[in-house]
A and B are shown apart, each in its own frame.
Chain A
Amino acid sequence: MTKIKNLEINGLRGVKEKLNLNLNKKSILIYGDNGTGKSSLTDSFEWFYNNHIAHLSTEEISGRGRDALRNIFISDDEDGYVNLNFDDKDLDAKKSIDGSKKIYISNTTDYFKEYIVDSTSENLILRYRDLVEFIIATKTEKLNKLQEIIGFSEVAKIRTILKRNFGRIKRTIKSSDYEGRKSARQETILENLGRNAYSDEQLFDGVNDLIKPLKLKIVVKSRKDINEVIKEISSKEDSKLSDEINFYVRVKEVVSELKEISNTINTEYSNFYTAFQNLQKEPEKIKSLQLLALLKEGKSVLSKDVVEHDYCPLCLQEKSKVQLIQELNARIDELEQLAEEKNSIDEQAKVLKEVIQFKVNSLEVILKDKSLEDKKFDKLKEKLTSFKTLLNSIITELGKEITEKIKEPQKVNLQEKELKELLESLASQIKKLKESKASNIKFTIHTKLLQTANAYKEYLSLNKEESVLRKQQVTFELLYDDFIRKQEESLNIFLSMFSKEINDYYTTMNPKEKVEDIRLIPLTKKEELVGITIDYKFFDVRKVPPEAYLSESHINCLGLSFFLASVKAFNKRNKFFVLDDVISSFDRSHRYRFAQLLTEKFGGYQTIVLTHEKEFFELVSSEVKSKGWLLRNFKWSQDSGTGIEKGIVDIKERILKKLEDRNTDGLGNDIRVYTEKVMKKVAFELEAKVAYRDNTVNEKRMAPELLDAVQSKLKASKELKETANIPKIKGMPMFVGNTTSHDNDFQASIEDLDAIWEDVKKMIRSFYCKECGKFISTKLYDPVKKKIRCGCENLIYDWKQ
């Protein structure tokens, strides 16, 4: 897995002049006040990997944030760039943006491209504003987010496609009314052949029986033979009558199919009407549905940090952004439930519309038949048109908006009685026409055979069509069921492991706080995975959701735990991550534990931590430095933009630099801070007694107190007492003061400070051995020689216990 060796940024965001961080695969803690450009580093990372910066990709900033990417002070012919060198040299790349906003990448290998694609889905950056994003997200958003990071998004897409296809086929089968149409064809066969026929054998037997009176030489053994017989017994003079009978038969089949389904149409419209009316009973809620898009957009605006401070962008009232997002989520959730109800009614209407449309189409085919041009069919045409009009009016009702009024069921009722009467009239017409030639056996048989052959052909075609669709339906259904089952299994295994990690990190940062057993739980509705929620034990009682009971600091901890668990679980290519100002809302104890968590549980990772909290920086500096981290300080100047303030991190280096530069600004204070830091260590090693202080106050012990305590201890060694000469140090102006003046500098000349520094160094050298790097210590007391020493005996003094 990849770590960063060197990072160089130039002309991007707040970085005007080259900013170089020689990381050499090490973790780093970077301090910088607000506005020093820490986020320029994070933004550059994001741009390098994602080719856009999410919080800059707003409508106001075009080009996916590209317009705000270049530092505005660099000249047009200068490139803004980020240059990353990795431990894998083949991934080294420089990504630049020129004056015309064109982007170039130095590494064009497939290997690098593949790396970038893989990295895009990894958890590399966490900003403060994104910290609680997952925790306060809606259940659906949580599911989507998790699916996205565990690579389930594609799986979810396939699931949706399967569901959509399954639904589409199911609807097609329903609207096609195969059973009704097949039955109508079998009825025709039964009527004409005296038997129904599902197979060729049954058909041929029936046909041979039918044509027996004609004493033809043909024995029907195939469908081709049937056509031969029809051809042989047809006569031109009977064709008009035959066509007319056939037309009536076709009309009869369409009307018969409509009659079969009329009851279903009436019942389903009635159900739709009731559901529609129920929904309309809450007009306020319906109206508020129109706000859903606005609320979602509002949430998006807040999440993208378009508004930086805690106020509502609409009413401009002061309000916590997190609280605002939470409230929006609650309203969105409520409206989405309502939208779901409405969707269910819409779906109901859609299916029924398809069923009716199919029947309308069949009627239209008949109405376009040339036979209807004959005036004797005017009444029939009128009747058929009235059915079509009624069906179309039902379709119109089904398509109405929820705010509109729809017709009552009885006003669009498909009258079964009317259909029955029409069918009887059609049957009577057919009978009459047939009887007009009843004496002509050949004609009678021809008519029956023709109708049978057509009906059987259509039956086979419908059967085949239905069979294909049913097979598809079964396949999609099985696939879908299997898919859901497997997805749930995998998700449950994943969530259980993932929850364990989150819980581990959270409880490490918040030990003994009665929040335990944090779990991510899948939510299902009608066997469908609809979301994920977070629950946890709070004083041994299960609670959900976190934002209801946890403080902002704890929610942030949870968000951080989620991110860190994601890093461990999903980052496969990169062994580094960036945390940008994530501890802002943490209190002191959480901050220290957070640093320990990073060094202990993420020791193998290269961590880039940016903070604007000086106290945090000072609190954890020694902890992380002892684990090999680098420490840097960002500054910002108008000339160079963001840069590294050299030497300030190590106080001693800072003092030396200031002395070299003859810069008295804060130098006295630095010397005092440095002395305090060293004297704490000396007091510890010599077991110098100081008054008891509470933990937090203990850290703030002042130099005079420490110097007094050590001086008192030096009664044991006259030699050391003289060498150290603590009273001289105590008399220096920066050591005369109290806690309130801790941060106040005093005014002194550079010469004074130079001399003070020399004395301080001399004092320190009496306690600290440069050779072995250790302080003299009571632990190294030799009771025989009665001496105290450093690790290598370079420093050794008499010591009376």
Chain B
Amino acid sequence: MNEQPTELKIFFDQPKTFNLQNTKSLMGLTGLYFIFSANTKIQYPFKKSRLLYIGMSEKRTNSMGSRLSGHFEGKSKNLGLFNYRKIDQLYFTYINFAMLRKFWNYRVEDLESYFILDFVEKYGVYPICNNKSGLDIMNKHLKANFEIDWKNFE
């Protein structure tokens, strides 16, 4: 890793309405995406949050755009996202991996793990639609100093 401050604050980009049209701008991009509701706050063990899902794309051919459109059209078979969309307006935001590559010497998959782990630490459990509850991705060995702006979803 190159020169970097002791801690990096990670903010999220402006929310985009979760629809097919908006997913097109993320075609061909790798990184992390975050799906959240407009109003529904989920009571996580430690705090409430509107964040429902953290997703990842590691390949341009299966980009954030195609992953998001898969969720929208129900192809990903994520029932939670499908049903939350029925009761509330959903939004999404994303982090282009290109922006963090210099500060993250691991894979995108590891970055996703890092973000999920951080969320678990702050909120007590995985985002509700990530469909996981165990400790299988609790990788505590990755060194990073990101302070993630989870407040964005509160």
A17: interface (CB < 8 Å):
no
Which chain B residues lie closer than 8 Å to A198 at the CB level?
A: 11-14
Task: Determine whether the beta carbon of B11 is less than 8 Å from that of A195.
Answer: yes
B2 to chain A, nearest CB (A): 6
Task: Flag if B12 contacts A179 (CB, 8 Å).
Answer: no
Say yes or no: A190 contacts B2, CB within 8 Å: no
CB pair A206 B96 closer than 8 Å: no
**Assuming the A-B contacts A196-B11, A198-B11, A470-B25, are A260 and B5 also in contact, with contact meaning beta carbons closer than 8 angstroms in the complex?**
no
Complex CA–CA separation, A182 to B9 (angstroms): 18
Interface string of A174-207 (1 = CB under 8 A from B): 0000011011101100110011111100100010
Partner among B4, B11, B21, B26 whose Cβ is within 8 Å of the Cβ of A191: B4
Q: Tell me whether B56 is interfacial, beta carbon within 8 Å.
A: no
Contacts of B12 in A (CB 8 A): 198
By a CB distance below 8 angstroms, the chain A residues around B28 are 264
Q: A179-B25, A474-B21 are in contact. Are A431 and B60 (CB under 8 A)?
A: no
For A323, the chain B residues whose CB sits under 8 A away are none
Contact B60 A183, beta carbon cutoff 8 Å: no
Alpha-carbon distance A76/B5, docked complex (angstroms): 96
Using Cβ atoms and an 8 Å threshold, which residues of chain A touch B100? Answer: 187, 190
Q: Who on chain A is nearest to B145 by CB?
A: A194
A196 to B99, alpha carbons, bound, how many Å?
9
Within B89-124, the residues touching A (CB, 8 Å) are 96, 98-103
How far, in whole Å, are A460 and B99 apart by their CA atoms in the complex? 16
Chain A's closest residue to B101 (CB) is A187
Chain B interface: which size bin? 20 to 34
Once the chains are docked, how many angstroms separate the CA of A466 from the CA of B22?
13
Partner of A194, one of B2, B8, B14, B29: B8
Instruction: Say if the beta carbon of B38 comes within 8 Å of chain A.
Output: no
In A198-218, the 8 Å CB interface with B consists of 198-199, 202, 206
Dominant secondary structure of chain A at its interface with chain B: helix
Q: Is A345 an interface residue (CB 8 A)?
A: no
* Residue from the list A184, A264, A470 in contact with B60, Cβ < 8 A: A264
**Complexed CA–CA distance, A197 and B29 (Å):** 20
A263, CB-defined interface residue at 8 Å: yes
**Residues of chain A within 8 A of B13, CB atoms compared:** 198
Let me know if A402 is at the binding interface, CB within 8 A. no
Q: How far is the CB of B18 from chain A (nearest CB, A)?
A: 15
A195–B11 Cα distance when bound, in Å, is: 7
Interface set, chain B 54-107, CB cutoff 8 A to A: 60, 96, 98-103
Q: Which of B5-50 contact A (CB under 8 A)?
A: 5, 7-14, 21, 25-26, 28-29
User: Whole-angstrom distance between the alpha carbons of A167 and B10 in the complex?
Assistant: 35
Q: Name the residue of chain A whose CB is nearest to the CB of B96.
A: A183
Identify which of A191, A194, A197, A431 contacts B7 (C-beta below 8 A): A194
Let me know if A427 is at the binding interface, CB within 8 A.
yes
Interface residues on A, range: 20 to 34
Whether B25 contacts A194 by the Cβ 8 Å rule is no
Cβ distance A266 to chain B, nearest Cβ, rounded Å? 12
Which residues from 257 to 291 on chain A have a C-beta closer than 8 Å to any C-beta of chain B?
A: 260, 263-264
B136 within 8 A of A: no
Contact yes or no, A202 B11, CB < 8 A: yes
Which residue of A190, A431, A470, A477 contacts B99 across the interface (Cβ within 8 Å)? A190
In the complex, the chain A residue whose C-beta lies closest to that of B61 is A267
Residues of chain B lying within 8 A (CB to CB) of residue A183: 96, 98-99
Chain B nearest CB: distance from A438 CB in Å?
11
C-alpha gap A263/B21 in the complex (Å): 25
Please, how many angstroms separate the alpha-carbon atoms of A553 and B103 in the complex?
79
Residues of B within 8 Å of A195, CB to CB, are: 8-11
Nearest CB of B to A510, in Å:
51
User: From residue A179, how far is it (CB to closest CB) to chain B in Å?
Assistant: 6
Give Cα A263 to B30, complex, Å: 13
Q: Given the complex, which residues of A lie within 8 Å of B25, measured CB to CB?
A: 179, 466, 470
- Give, as a whole number of angstroms, the nearest-CB distance from B93 to chain A: 9
Residues of B within 8 A of A206 (CB): 9
When distances are taken between beta carbons in the complex, the residues of chain A under 8 Å from B29 are 179
CA distance A470 to B17 in the complex (A): 14
CB–CB A187/B11 < 8 A: no
Most B C-beta atoms less than 10 A away, residue of A182, A196, A202, A470:
A196
Instruction: Give A199 to B14 CA distance when docked, in angstroms.
Output: 9
Report chain B residues within 8 Å CB of A194.
Answer: 4-5, 7-9
Contact of A197 with B11 in the complex, beta carbons under 8 Å? yes
Interface residues in A143-200 (C-beta closer than 8 Å to B): 179-180, 182-184, 186-187, 190-191, 194-199
For the complex, give the distance between the alpha carbons of A434 and B2 in Å: 13
Determine how close the nearest CB of chain A comes to the CB of B54; give it in whole angstroms. Answer: 17
Min distance, Cβ B26 to any Cβ of chain A, angstroms = 8
A184 to B4, CA, bound (A): 16
Q: Kindly provide the distance from the CB of B32 to the nearest chain A CB, expressed in whole angstroms.
A: 13
Chain B residue contacts of A434, Cβ below 8 A: 3
Complex CA gap A198/B93 in Å reads 12
Q: Which of B26, B60, B103 contacts A190 (CB 8 A)?
A: B103
| A184 B98 Cβ-Cβ under 8 A | yes
How near does chain A come to B100, taking the closest CB pair, in angstroms?
A: 8
Q: In the docked arrangement, what's the CA distance between A570 and B149, Å?
A: 66
Residue of A nearest to B6 (CB): A194
Bound form: Cα–Cα A195–B5 in Å: 9
Nearest CB in chain B: distance from A736 CB, A: 92
CB distance from A18 to the nearest CB of B (A): 69
**How far in angstroms is the closest Cβ of chain B from A431?**
6
Q: Is the Cβ of B8 less than 8 Å from the Cβ of A190?
A: yes
Cβ contacts under 8 Å, A180 to chain B? 98
CB neighbours of B96 from chain A (8 A): 179, 182-183, 186
Compute how far the CA of A647 lies from the CA of B125 in the bound complex, rounded to whole angstroms.
106
- Distance between B28 CB and nearest chain A CB, rounded to angstroms: 7
What are the residues of chain B within 8 A of A427 when measuring CB–CB? 2-3
Most B CB within 10 A of own CB, among A179, A260, A466: A179
Q: How far is the CB of A359 from chain B (nearest CB, A)?
A: 15
Q: In the complex, which of the residues A180, A183, A198 has the most CB atoms of chain B within 10 Å of its own CB atom?
A: A183
User: A196 contacts which chain B residues (CB < 8 A)?
Assistant: 9-11, 99
CB distance from B149 to the nearest CB of A (A): 8
Closest approach, in angstroms, between the C-beta of B65 and any C-beta of chain A? 10
Q: A191-B102, A263-B60, A264-B60 are in contact. Are A431 and B3 (CB under 8 A)?
A: yes
Assembly CA distance A190 to B103 (angstroms): 9
Chain A residues near B26: list those with CB within 8 A: 179
Q: A197: which B residues are within 8 A, CB to CB?
A: 11
| CB of B115, distance to nearest CB on chain A (Å) | 14
Minimum CB distance partner of B28 in chain A: A264
Q: Roughly how many angstroms separate A197 CA and B60 CA in the complex, as a whole number?
A: 25
Query: How far, in Å, is B139 (CB) from chain A's closest CB?
Result: 23
Interface centre among A184, A187, A466, A470 (most CB of B within 10 A): A187
CA distance in complex: A184, B101 (Å): 10
Contacting pair A187 B99 (CB below 8 A): yes
Contacts of B7 in A (CB 8 A): 194
Q: Across the interface, name the chain B residue whose C-beta is closest to A210.
A: B5
Return chain A residues, CB-CB under 8 Å to B99.
183-184, 186-187, 190, 196
Q: What's the nearest-Cβ distance from chain A to residue B151, in Å? A: 12
**Bound form: Cα–Cα A197–B12 in Å:** 8
Closest B residue, CB atoms, query A473: B24
Scan A444-487; emit 1 where CB is below 8 A from any B CB, else 0. 00000000000000000000001000100010010000000000
Cβ-defined contact, B98 with A260, below 8 A: yes
Of the A-B pairs whose beta carbons lie under 8 Å apart in the complex, a sample of 16, sorted by A's number, is A182-B96, A183-B99, A190-B99, A191-B102, A194-B4, A194-B5, A194-B7, A195-B9, A195-B10, A196-B10, A196-B11, A198-B12, A198-B14, A199-B14, A434-B3, A474-B21
The 9 nearest A-B residue pairs measured at CB: A195-B9, A194-B5, A183-B98, A183-B99, A183-B96, A186-B99, A187-B99, A198-B13, A202-B11
Given contacts A183-B98, A195-B8, A195-B10, 13 further A-B contacts (CB under 8 A): A180-B98, A182-B96, A183-B99, A187-B102, A190-B8, A190-B99, A191-B3, A195-B9, A198-B12, A198-B13, A263-B60, A427-B3, A470-B25
Point out residues on B near A: beta carbons under 8 Å. 2-5, 7-14, 21, 25-26, 28-29, 60, 96, 98-103
